[in-house]
Structure 1
Amino acid sequence: MIEWSDEDVMIRDAVRGWIDAEVRPNLDALDAGELPPYDLIRSLFKTFGLDELARSSFASRIQKERDGGSPREGGHSGEGGDSGEDRPGGGNAAMNMLPIIELCKVSPGLVTAMGVSLGLAAGTIMKRGTVEQKERWGLDLLTMDKVGAWAITEPGSGSDAFGGMQATARKAGDEYVLNGSKTFITNGPYADTIVFYCKLDNGRAPRDREILTFVLDRGMPGLDQSKPLRKMGLHSSPTGELFLNDVRAGADRLLTGGSGGGKESAKQNFVTERAGVAAMSLGVIEECLKLSVDYAKKRELWGQPIGDFQLIQLKLAKMEVARINVQNLVFRHIEMQRAGRTPTLAEASAMKLYTAQAASEVAMEAVQLFGGNGYMSEYRVEQLARDAKSFQIYAGTDEIQVTHIARDLLSR
């Protein structure tokens, strides 16, 4: 794949039209954190029929499972078990990527909020849940009728998500009693459904304990969801904390499907999340480049457009090189999905490491190109620079990506 198809371009232009009509007029409210993103995401779903597509796909999948077949029968799931079937758009890889790219040109936080609810919360339930659990929680998340959160990060664990995990589940008769706290949880303040990771308190050393995954509902006794945290960027993606004090969860809330337990489930989600950052980065890079080229043509200094100066041309050229490289990685990922192959954790980490750094560097160069105007919020490169920096931190920091890539190389 070397360019978008005619059908892809039609989809892209339709999404752009919706963004111009629905998102851009609300940018100030979104970036101020005054407007939660969920009604806009639901509008996107209804406008393009993604909610009905999700219902149809869900019904077909559940019927197949009830008939005793595999949910992926007749297809390929790849190493990570994620062929895109659990998201609106199904196996249409380009349809999954294009809205991400276009939305990230304007408001990357919308993609983060949507991606966590669909790809991580709903994705985990659809991979590891029973038919009953999928019907209970999965469909409402896939249609965005409800908002999902994926809770693994804790205040003291940082990048040591599994080893440093302190949240626990203690068996009490037919139930589990959950205690602990989570932080930096996307959608945490507004989530209706929470996929919660913790360790089984069974007397073993904390680092040796089994990882369990539960599905929790907003309003459960002992579960508190904080107000949105203040952040450097991604203000259109609400982030919060969760506090659990003797929350009682029945066995019907425990996700036990799939292989490798809760730890393997989380690793599969890391692959999905990290690969998705490439598409997010492409959106930011394309928008920063477009804004910079327009500005370089119009802004004059010493009687001539600043685009005539070689230092400005160098910045634009480097942005274009980054755009081509990141676009090629996105195209590669689309082709992998079409071939039924999911990236390994190391491949996804490599994609995220390069593209996140490229997006942040391009956005900061755009700010520099705009000069004083680039530091002002009325010029959109300021917001994009703040938002792009988060790509190097969430879904694993740059340093964690390096570790995963190097370990894979050294294990060969």
Structure 2
Amino acid sequence: MLEWSDVDIAVRDAVREFVDKEIRPHVDDLESGDMEPYPVIRKLFSTFGIDAMARESLDKRLTAMRDGRSASGGSSSGGMFGGGGDQAGMGFVLISELCRVSMGLVTGMGVSLGLTVPTIASRGTLAQQERWLPGLVTYEKVGAWAITEPDSGSDAFGGMKSYVVRDGDDYILNGQKTFITNGPDADVTVVYAKLDEGDPAVGKRDRKVLTFVLDKGMDGFVQSKPFRKMGIHSSRTGELFFNEVRLGRDRLLGETEDNDKGDGRDSARSNFSAERIGVAAMALGVIEECLRLSVDYAKSRTLWGQEIGQFQLIQLKLASMEVARMNVRNMLFRVIEAAQAGTSISLPEASAIKWYCSQAATDVAMEAIQLFGGNGYMTEYRVEQLARDAKSLMIYAGSNEVQITHVARGLLNDPR
């Protein structure tokens, strides 16, 4: 794949028109928190029929499961919007276009539809999927995916302290999660916690990880107010607290501790690749918008009697941005081709994509600020927002330092 398809371009133009009309005029309100992000995405979904497409896809899936026929276990690269791999291009176009103006909208949407939904779809029983997925796939309800804790960070499993103990047929959950996207507002939250069986022979790092689904308002479950962050302000992030939360077995995904797909570690890892390759589309949106703004500014800003675009150092900045755009776009095309072929992206490759694209977006955004000079430091020129948002990509979905480790391990363990 060397270029967007005609369908992808048509989708891009339609989404771009929606963004210019419905989102750009409200960016300041989204950034300040005066405007909630979720209704904007719901309007986008209804405008383009994404909610109807997701509902139809889910209905087919659940019907197949009720009839005893096989159903796809999780989401594909295009499935975040209810389609399959053949629609991956359209999905990534939408993500990229939204990130040009408000990456936070994509962050919240991506966690709900790209992490919460696939986890329930791949691990849950038919009854659990019927219970939680209908509201989630249309974004009528907002989902959160809670694994990170104050003392764990990139050591998500080893440092995990949230735990459950058995109490008859139920479980009692205690602990805390942090940096949880959609955490303050989520209607449905997937929570990972370790099972404490009281066996001193089993070290805390090695205890089984179980996956539960919680609903907003449960006794003992507290969702914090939104954090104040450096960037992605239109994504609401917070902490979750669990104090003696009673969970029935119907909230344990798969309703068994011995899931044939492994424990919660396997559940989480299955989402890591999808989360990381999504960064490519997000980075592309940032880079394309920075390049557009920078080219326009270079042609309109004059200094010493000529457009600054005539200066060689400015041309170097623009050319470097274009090379970054081409590289990130080609990495995204690799992801789309894999989805269309029905093949998966390995974790080391997903980590390489995430590492490079996030770094490229951050570098481009910072160069855009430098190109704009003093104006670039002012909020009304927007490149400062793009730079703040882009920086989050180097931490989001696992810090870049961890991605480097995954890439190196993949090379060292390669039998070639």
Q: Give the TM bin, normalised by the shorter chain.
A: over 0.9
Contact between 1:100 and 1:111, CA under 8 Å: does it hold in 2? yes
1:280 aligns with 2:282: yes
Q: Larger deviation: 374-383 or 258-267?
A: 258-267
Q: Are the equivalent residues in 1 in contact too, given 2:58–2:82 (CA < 8 A)?
A: no
In structure 1, what residue type is equivalent to 2:69?
G
- Please give the TM-score of this superposition, normalised by the length of structure 2: 0.96
DSSP 3-state at the match of 2:144: strand
The residue number in structure 1 matching 2:2 is 2
Q: Output the amino acid matched with 2:311.
A: F
Aligned residues of 1:183 and 1:242 also touching (Cα < 8 A)? yes
Tell me how far apart the structure 1 counterparts of residues 264 and 17 of structure 2 sit (CA, whole Å). Answer: 40
**Structure 1 residues 200-244: Cα deviation after superposition (integer angstroms, max 9, x where no partner):** 011221101001000000000000000000000000000000000
Q: Partners of 2:315 and 2:262 in 1: how far apart?
A: 51
Spell out, residue by residue over 1:259-284, the C-alpha distance to the aligned partner (whole angstroms, 9 max, x if none): 12210110111111100000000000
- Structure 1 unmatched ranges of 5 or more: none
Quote the offset at 1:258 in angstroms: 5.6
Instruction: Please state if 1:121 is matched with 2:119.
Output: no
Residue 213 of structure 2 aligns with which residue?
Answer: 215
* Equivalent in 143, 157, 171 of residue 162 of structure 1: 157
Please show how residues 325-364 of structure 1 align to structure 2 within 5 Å. Answer: 325-364=327-366
Partner residue, 1:150: 145
The answer to whether the 8 Å contact 1:12/1:102 transfers is: yes
Q: Distance in 2 between matches of 1:251 and 1:30?
A: 39
Equivalent residue number for residue 183 of structure 1: 178
Q: CA 1:251 to 1:152, structure 2 compared with 1: closer, same or farther past 3 Å?
A: same
Summarize the alignment of residues 175-254 of structure 1 with structure 2, pairs less than 5 Å apart: 175-203=170-198, 204-254=202-252
Instruction: State, as a whole percentage, how many aligned pairs show the same letter.
Output: 63
Partner of 1:237: helix, strand, or coil? coil
Mapped to 1, the partners of 2:222 and 2:322 lie a distance apart of 46
Q: Give the Å deviation of 1:55.
A: 1.0
Deviates more, 1:199-208 or 1:395-404: 199-208
- Which residue does the alignment assign to 1:402? 404
Task: Supply the AA of the counterpart residue of 2:92.
Answer: M
CA contact (8 A) 2:358 2:394 kept: yes
Q: Could you tell me how far 1:86 is from its partner in structure 2?
A: 5.2
Give the structure 2 partner of residue 306 of structure 1. Answer: 308
Per the TM alignment, residue 81 of structure 1 is displaced from its structure 2 partner at its CA by 6.9
State the secondary structure of the residue aligned to 1:227: coil
Mapped partners of 2:191, 2:309: distance in 1: 51
Asked if structure 2 preserves the Cα contact closer than 8 Å seen for 1:50 and 1:89, the reply is no
Please state whether the residue corresponding to 2:11 is helix, strand or coil.
helix
Matched, 1:14 2:19: no
Q: Confirm or deny: 8 A CA contact 1:83 1:340 kept in the other structure.
A: no
Contact 2:75–2:114 (CA<8 Å) still a contact in 1?
no
2:53 pairs with 1:53: yes
In the other structure, the counterpart of 1:84 is 78
Any conservation in 1 of the 2:50–2:81 contact (CA below 8 Å)?
Answer: no
Q: TM-score, normalised by structure 1?
A: 0.97
Contact 1:353 1:401 in 2 (8 A): yes
Shift of 1:301: 0.3
* 2:39 corresponds to: 39
**What stretches of structure 1 move > 6 A for 4+ residues in a row?**
none
Residue identity opposite 1:82 in structure 2: S
Q: 1:272 to 1:221 in 2, by over 3 A?
A: same
Distance in structure 2 (CA, Å) of the matches to 1:277 and 1:83: 12
Q: Assess if the C-alpha contact under 8 Å between 1:83 and 1:341 holds in 2.
A: no
Structure 1 counterpart of 2:367? 365
Contact 2:79–2:88 (8 Å) recurs in 1: no
- Displacement of 1:7 in angstroms is 1.3
Task: Kindly indicate whether the alpha-carbon contact (under 8 Å) linking 1:175 and 1:249 is maintained by their aligned counterparts in 2.
Answer: yes
Q: Note the aligned Cα RMSD (angstroms).
A: 1.2
Aligned residues of 2:78 and 2:89 also touching (Cα < 8 A): no
8 A contact 1:86–1:126 mirrored in 2: no
Matched position secondary structure for 2:228? coil
Q: Which runs of 5+ in 2 are unaligned?
A: none
Query: Contact 1:189–1:225 (CA<8 Å) still a contact in 2?
Result: yes
1:94 aligned partner: 89
Deviation, 1:21, is 0.9
Q: CA deviation at 1:157?
A: 0.6
Q: What CA distance in whole angstroms lies between the structure 1 residues aligned with 2:278 and 2:27?
A: 23
Deviations 1:6-26 (A, max 9, x none): 111111100001111110111
Larger RCO: 1 or 2 (CA < 8 Å, sep 6+): 1
Preserved contact between residue 37 and residue 237 of structure 1 (Cα < 8 Å) = yes
- C-alpha change, 1:28 and 1:264, in structure 2 (3 Å) is same
Q: Is the 8 A contact 1:113 1:187 kept in 2?
A: yes
